[in-house]
Amino acid sequence: MVRLDKFKSGFLGFFVYSTVRSATIKSHRVGIAYRLAQFILLIYIIGWELIYKKGYQAFDTVSSSVTTKVKGQGFVPMNSSINRSMDKNDPFYYQKLFSFDQNKTYRLLDTADYVVPPNEYNSIFIMSNFIETTQSQGRCDEEVTKPKAKCLTDEDCMDLGDATNSWNGIPTGRCINSSTTPGVNVCEVISDFNL
């Protein structure tokens, strides 16, 4: 009789479940409904999805994205082209192809120069043609007409505040002679200028 009571208590205990709050529900109806729902879900997964539809053999399309980052510098010979008549069987072929020639002028390109635009939809663009602009960065005198550009000493070119927002470059703090207006001193700036 004790064994039957333990079996009955263990069997009925199977239909008792706990929630996240660890509340023990001792209702047999709720326990049976809970275990029945689990059993139906288990039968659906095993019977329908795995056995009938063979879900373990299903294929799906790949969803992915690729990000390519180009790094480093490149050297390009100016006013010359690659010698395509070299013999590829020559053991020094690649050494000759990628070595620097003393008689040529080279231009150094970085990532910003040869990946234009930096982002492309579903593709990458590597530059194959380069148009060199006739600009150079250097120091020059600011225009006389710019606010606070005229000066007498180097101190006049220091702490200019918002006046330099409309200038053609970044002030260096030096007062130099104007190249466009003789007899007038202006602040020196670092700027891009046309050659």
pLDDT digits (tens, 9 = 90+) for 132-152: 666 667 888 999 998 889 999
Which of these three, 39, 57, 75, is where a domain ends?
Answer: 57
- Are residue 139 and residue 188 in the same domain, yes or no? yes
Give 33's pLDDT tier (boundaries 50, 70, 90).
very high
Which of these three, 57, 79, 100, is where a domain ends?
Answer: 57
147-170: per-residue pLDDT in tens? Answer: 889 999 999 988 887 777 788 888
The domain tally of the chain equals: 3
For residue 15, give the nearest of 3, 27, 1 by alpha carbon: 27
- Are residue 20 and residue 44 in the same domain, yes or no? yes
- Are residue 86 and residue 43 in the same domain, yes or no? no
Residue 100 pLDDT > 90 = no
Give ∠ CA 162-167-171 in degrees, rounded to 5: 80
Which of these three, 132, 155, 185, is where a domain ends?
Answer: 132
List, in order, residues 6 or more apart from 123 with CB less than 8 Å away: none
The parent domain of residue 104 ranges over: 65-132
- Are residue 72 and residue 128 in the same domain, yes or no? yes
User: What secondary structure letter does DSSP report for 169?
Assistant: S
Under DSSP, is residue 162 helix (H, G, I), strand (E, B) or coil?
Answer: helix
- Are residue 98 and residue 118 in the same domain, yes or no? yes
Pairwise pLDDT comparison (190 vs 130), residue with the higher score: 190
Give 124's pLDDT tier (boundaries 50, 70, 90).
low
- Are residue 78 and residue 100 in the same domain, yes or no? yes
